[in-house]
């Protein structure tokens, strides 16, 4: 039986399905599709507001103690329009959808999916909790320690935790643990395919798009300059004048400044990690470092056990210039991917848009026709934005 000529709606629907199947990191995060753009379309620069839940201290006893319900919002900008342009003939449109997908859609959408995942995994620079010993993680204990950090941060244990690691991390941990499983089990099959599956409360995935981080130049003996500092910047001194640089994404700890459980405010006994949020070089041996989390020692938004003492020592997580592969352990709500409908232009041969509120993805295809060559130039576009919603719900695994 002759093949039915493919329509642009059929092609766009298939493109959306292939995109969903090709995503790795993006499939494990909070995904939001904003339907308000379904009529007029969206454009680069559109900003959406995503609410974060309030935090409370609570009370002991019978006396009423009303607390302000302070909801915070995180702005997510739709700042990336990415797509792939292809061309096919009228004869190609007579193929079956499977053949057409194999020849045209899958290669194009693979490029789109890799771009989306790569941009999302770059959010590791917002994450301050980390596990690192300067080498590729090769024991289950290291991943268990990462899970413990999430537990200490009151991360929900609701089946929505994931681990996304680079290929060498996966190869190393699979090889290290292969003796723990028997061939007759389902886990044996997962190991035979080189994938971890589900273990220690996480779904495990490998993603070639995991980023690497290059640490700045460390020089001198960095110290806190001034006691009882608070907020999102830290005044320091003790650097070697003109020789030190901290890169955005570098992590460090401060002596005697521990993390706390955000629900109970109890001291975890573990040093609080901080991440540098803006690259900075020293001036005359001193730096005021932009950091996350913000240092708050009391109240509902408390983040640390106590303010740093004057001359408390800073310890940078890795060595000067170290190039460190970055894996992530995280809960779904640590990050969000937002997409919205692009407008459908007029004056073209065909245009179609497919979106799915459950998948949280929208994709547009626009097709023209070249009468001289009997070909259809065609573009596929996705408009999206990434944002770290709750960095406390993520941990970096550093190689």
Q: Could you count the other beta carbons within 10 Å of the beta carbon of residue 17? A: 17
The alpha carbon dihedral of 159, 160, 161, 167 has a sign of: positive
* Cα 180 from Cα 185, distance rounded (Å): 11
Per DSSP bridges, beta strands 286-295 and 197-199 are unpaired
Using a 10 angstrom Cβ sphere, with 0-12 exposed, 13-18 middle and 19 or more buried, the burial of residue 301 is: middle
Residues in the chain: 399
- The residue-averaged pLDDT of 160-169 equals 93
Q: Of the candidates 293, 153, 299, 283, which has an alpha carbon nearest to the alpha carbon of residue 234?
A: 293
| Percent residues over pLDDT 90 in the chain | 38
What does the pLDDT look like over 96-128, one tens digit per residue? 777 888 888 888 888 888 999 999 999 999 999
* Cα 144 from Cα 146, distance rounded (Å): 5
pLDDT at residue 55 in the model: 60
Q: Which residue ranges form the domains of the chain, and what is each CATH number?
A: 8-123+334-385 (3.30.2400), 127-212 (no CATH), 216-321 (2.40.30)
Residues sharing a CB contact under 8 Å with residue 181, sequence separation 6 or more, in sequence order: 187, 188, 191
* Cα 308 from Cα 227, distance rounded (Å): 6
* Cα 58 from Cα 261, distance rounded (Å): 14
Query: For tokens 């907020």, what's the residue?
Result: 231
Query: For tokens 């493109």, what's the residue?
Result: 15
Using a 10 angstrom Cβ sphere, with 0-12 exposed, 13-18 middle and 19 or more buried, the burial of residue 81 is: middle
pLDDT at residue 41 in the model: 63
121, 334 Cβ separation under 8 angstroms: no
Query: For tokens 């997962």, what's the residue?
Result: 190
pLDDT at residue 192 in the model: 46
pLDDT at residue 1 in the model: 36
pLDDT at residue 89 in the model: 81
224, 234 Cβ separation under 8 angstroms: yes
pLDDT at residue 69 in the model: 63
pLDDT at residue 67 in the model: 66
Beta bridge partners, 236, equal 224, 287
Question: Tokens in use for 372?
Answer: 């001289």
More confident residue, 52 or 283: 283
Q: How confident is the model at residue 60 (pLDDT cuts 50, 70, 90)?
A: low
Helix (H, G, I), strand (E, B) or coil at 163: strand
**305 pLDDT above the threshold of 70:** yes
**392 pLDDT above the threshold of 90:** yes
pLDDT at residue 146 in the model: 94
Q: Could you count the other beta carbons within 10 Å of the beta carbon of residue 352? A: 18
Q: Where are the beta strands (DSSP E) in 99-185?
A: 130-132, 161-165
Indicate the average pLDDT of the chain: 84
- The residue-averaged pLDDT of 365-392 equals 88
pLDDT at residue 109 in the model: 85
Q: Which of 64-73, 82-91, 148-157, 335-344 holds the top average pLDDT?
A: 148-157
**2 pLDDT above the threshold of 50:** no
Q: Could you count the other beta carbons within 10 Å of the beta carbon of residue 243? A: 14
Residue 368's alpha-carbon distances to 86, 174, 345, 349, in angstroms, are 11, 48, 11, 5
Rg (C-alpha) for the chain, rounded Å, is 25
H/E stretch holding 143 = helix 140-152
Beta bridge partners, 212, equal 325
- The residue-averaged pLDDT of 335-349 equals 85
DSSP 44: T
Taking the mean position of all CA atoms in its chain, how far away is CA 111? 18
* Cα 171 from Cα 175, distance rounded (Å): 6
**290 pLDDT above the threshold of 90:** yes
Helix (H, G, I), strand (E, B) or coil at 365: strand
Q: How confident is the model at residue 43 (pLDDT cuts 50, 70, 90)?
A: confident
């Amino acid at each position: 039986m002759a093949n039915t000529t493919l329509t642009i709606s059929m092609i766009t629907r298939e493109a959306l399905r292939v995109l969903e199947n090709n995503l790795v990191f993006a499939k494990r995060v909070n995904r939001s599709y904003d339907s308000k753009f379904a009529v007029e379309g969206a454009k680069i620069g559109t900003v959406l507001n995503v609410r974060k839940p309030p935090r409370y201290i609570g009370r002991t006893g019978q006396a009423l103690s009303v607390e302000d319900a302070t909801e915070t919002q995180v702005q997510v900008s739709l700042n990336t329009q990415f797509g792939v342009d292809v061309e096919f003939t009228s004869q190609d449109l007579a193929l079956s959808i499977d053949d057409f997908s194999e020849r045209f859609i899958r290669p194009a959408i693979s490029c789109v999916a890799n771009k989306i995942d790569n941009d999302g995994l770059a959010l590791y620079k917002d994450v301050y909790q980390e596990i690192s010993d300067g080498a590729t993680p090769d024991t289950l204990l290291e991943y268990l320690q990462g899970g413990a950090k999430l537990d200490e941060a009151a991360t929900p244990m609701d089946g929505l935790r994931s681990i996304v690691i680079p290929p060498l991390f996966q190869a190393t941990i699979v090889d290290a643990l292969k003796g723990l499983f028997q061939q007759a089990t389902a886990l044996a099959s997962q190991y035979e395919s080189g994938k971890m599956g589900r273990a220690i409360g996480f779904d495990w995935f490998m993603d070639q798009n995991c980023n690497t981080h290059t640490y700045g130049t460390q020089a001198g003996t960095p110290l806190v300059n001034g006691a009882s500092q608070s907020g999102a910047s830290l005044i320091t001194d003790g650097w070697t004048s003109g020789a030190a640089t901290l890169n955005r994404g570098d992590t460090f700890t401060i002596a005697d400044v521990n993390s706390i459980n955000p629900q109970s405010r109890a001291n975890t006994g573990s040093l609080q990690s901080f991440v540098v949020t803006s690259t900075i070089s020293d001036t005359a041996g001193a730096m005021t470092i932009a950091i996350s989390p913000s240092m708050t020692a009391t109240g509902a938004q408390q983040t640390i056990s106590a303010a740093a003492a004057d001359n408390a020592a800073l310890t940078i997580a890795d060595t000067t210039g170290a190039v460190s592969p970055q894996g992530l352990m995280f809960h779904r709500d640590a990050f969000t991917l937002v997409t919205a409908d692009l407008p459908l232009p007029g004056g073209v041969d065909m245009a179609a848009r497919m979106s799915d509120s459950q998948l949280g993805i929208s994709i547009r295809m626009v097709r023209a026709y070249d009468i001289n060559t009997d070909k259809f130039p065609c573009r596929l576009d996705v408009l999206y934005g990434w944002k770290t919603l709750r960095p406390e719900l993520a941990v970096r695994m550093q190689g």
